[in-house]
Structure 1
Amino acid sequence: MTLTAYNQVPIPTFMYGTAWKKEATKELVQLAVASGFTAIDTANQLIHYQEALVGEALQALEKKGIKRNTLFLQTKFTSVDGQDHRTPYDASADLTTQVRQSFDSSLTHLCTEYVDSYVLHGPHQRRGLGEADWEVWAAIEGLYQSGKTKMIGISNVTAGQLTQLCEQANHKPMVVQNRCFAALGWDKEVREICQAHGIIYQGFSLLTANRAVLANPKIHAIAQRLGASSAQIIFRFAMQIGMLPLTGTTSQQHMKEDLQAEQFALSTEEIQRIETIAL
């Protein structure tokens, strides 16, 4: 199954996230693909990701007959504020150069000539978009126009920032990736903007950011009705409201169970119940 952004590029409906996997990244990416995942998320940010090990996994998969063009690969540009001293670019260079150097470094790490999605890891400021954000976004738009990335997007973005970007950018984002809290209506305001603009909303930390929801008796009751786990219910809910969920599990059993969430169907009433469960 796939979702399609406003630029008509398809993207798988579930994505495997590689943050915090450290030296296990190569093995876990291969395990995720063997389990059925066809979309992989990473970033050129050594504090939290090992992008080069994702590339090693892709090479190992190629030797097993799994071609690069059968996988959806998403990586990110992370500004100096989100890096340690190991920046994948000249930190003293202008921002346009930083984006290009980071992107070229990502292609080298990932052993590929293109990426399917290139994402700005987050704006430089908490409110609004400043000059730095517009310079970075213009550089990312340039990569999209060159054909080196099929989609562009932004992560860790507020509703106000996303509205500004959609109104003023030459190319609005095709994807948005945010940490998704049930207490905020599952990021309802940002999701509604995405829906209005044909942008695919990717939700991360769906389980870890909502532990109380997973333990809620209402979720347990739905899980019992469907013979599913609470995690499967949350992932299925996400899909049915138009979200693309990410999972970062290190368990192959959970990888397979997460993907099986596509086989369930929640009722309209159950979806409404989960949407407001933490409000």
Structure 2
Amino acid sequence: MSSLSSLSPAFIYGTAWKKDNTTKLVKEALIAGFRAVDTAAQPRHYREELVGQALREAYKDGVVRREDIYLQTKYTSLAGQDRNNMPYNAADSLQKQIETSVASSLRKLRPLQDSEVGSYIDCVLMHSPLPTLTQTLEAWHVLEAFVPEKILSLGISNVDLETLEQIHKTSKVKPSVVQNRFYPATGHDVELRAFCAENDIIYESFWTLTGNLKLLGCNEIATIAESTGVPAPIALYSLVMNLGIVVLNGTSSLHHMREDREGVEVVKAWARSNPSEWEAVFKSFKGRIES
């Protein structure tokens, strides 16, 4: 079993919108060194069955073992589904919808080709809170029943601080992961990230590049890029990771898969050799996004 907190570098390969290329791209990411994969039981944007196919082929080919991989998927509520293509019946109760969704994920992500024996998921996230807090908490409690036999941990995406606090307060299985957009519109989730840090919750970012294009031209990014020779996006990834954030990376380029992973290691090495310079740049960057 691979731990999300031990990933180095702290990238998760994001599989949204990969369509028919999903199997090919997930295998390429694994070959490039990614050891965490994010998907969802949401056919509208993900091909979860092709993620499972890629993983099984990688296991068979000896690229990785199941225990080397951190694998997370999501239960997506009705609001996020295409009613003509979804993993459960819209007329079913909330409990039945969640149970059917999780069963679908366990089947599609199974490690063995012809059997679901040994199938488990490292983390299942609620893709977003439900329309009411009561429904959100009900859904969370349904997911708790799968832990730890079939699901090892739970999380939530697209969540605000108030909802996260209520889930944490009322749950038996505490949230282990929050996955949110990391961008200026939410103030880069400063208060929410502080709550996560205080309660051993891993914060995962998406839109890390597309939501922060202005940051790519800032002085701190330029300093890291010039000092290490890495492109600006890798400098940004490195500074964000130093905040304790795990970054979703959904590149479809094998070149960028390798360059991104290798690049953040180059920055780490430079930071170890130049601790005072790194600390000054990081302090300035942190102040920029948290002001």
In the superposition, the TM-score normalised over structure 1's length comes to: 0.91
Alignment of 1:125-140 (within 5 A): 125=131, 130-140=133-143
Deviation of the 1:174 alpha carbon: 0.6
Q: Is the 8 A contact 2:4 2:36 kept in 1?
A: no
Unmatched runs of 5 consecutive residues or more in structure 2: 112-118, 272-277
1:2–1:97: structure 2 CA closer, same or farther, 3 Å change rule?
closer
Unmatched runs of 5 consecutive residues or more in structure 1: 5-9
**Number of matched pairs:** 270
Q: Which residue of 2 aligns with 1:256?
A: 258
Deviation of the 1:111 alpha carbon: 2.2
Q: Secondary structure at the match of 2:288?
A: coil
Alignment of 1:97-108 (within 5 A): 97-108=96-107
Deviations 1:51-73 (A, max 9, x none): 01101101211221132222111
1:2–1:102: structure 2 CA closer, same or farther, 3 Å change rule?
closer
**CA distance in structure 2 between the partners assigned to 1:209 and 1:186 by the alignment:** 10
- Higher deviation after alignment, 148-157 or 269-278: 269-278
- Higher deviation after alignment, 208-217 or 152-161: 208-217
Query: 1:122 aligned to 2:121?
Result: no
Q: Which residue of 2 aligns with 1:33?
A: 30
In the superposition, the TM-score normalised over structure 2's length comes to: 0.87
1:162 to 153, 159, 164: 164
**CA distance in structure 1 between the partners assigned to 2:91 and 2:265 by the alignment:** 46
1:225–1:73: structure 2 CA closer, same or farther, 3 Å change rule?
same
Q: Which residue of 2 aligns with 1:96?
A: 95
**Identity across matched positions, percent:** 37
Q: Which residue of 1 aligns with 2:191?
A: 189
**CA distance in structure 2 between the partners assigned to 1:185 and 1:240 by the alignment:** 18
| Amino acid across the alignment from 1:19 | A
Deviation of the 1:88 alpha carbon: 0.3
Q: Is the 8 A contact 1:182 1:275 kept in 2?
A: no
Deviation of the 1:2 alpha carbon: 5.5
| Amino acid across the alignment from 2:201 | I
Q: Secondary structure at the match of 1:190?
A: helix
Query: 1:277 aligned to 2:288?
Result: yes
Deviation of the 1:268 alpha carbon: 2.1
Q: Secondary structure at the match of 1:187?
A: helix
Q: Secondary structure at the match of 1:115?
A: coil
**CA distance in structure 2 between the partners assigned to 1:182 and 1:130 by the alignment:** 25
Q: Secondary structure at the match of 2:145?
A: helix
RMSD: 1.8
| Amino acid across the alignment from 2:66 | R
Q: Secondary structure at the match of 2:146?
A: helix
Deviations 1:209-268 (A, max 9, x none): 111111334422321112211111111112211111110011111111221203424522
| Amino acid across the alignment from 2:281 | E
**CA distance in structure 2 between the partners assigned to 1:216 and 1:11 by the alignment:** 27
Alignment of 1:38-53 (within 5 A): 38-53=35-50
| Amino acid across the alignment from 1:157 | V
1:230–1:72: structure 2 CA closer, same or farther, 3 Å change rule?
same
2:242 to 203, 218, 240: 240
Q: Is the 8 A contact 1:213 1:277 kept in 2?
A: no
Query: 1:144 aligned to 2:147?
Result: yes
**CA distance in structure 1 between the partners assigned to 2:236 and 2:7 by the alignment:** 20
Alignment of 1:1-16 (within 5 A): 4=5, 13-16=10-13
Q: Secondary structure at the match of 2:121?
A: coil
- Higher deviation after alignment, 32-41 or 265-274: 265-274
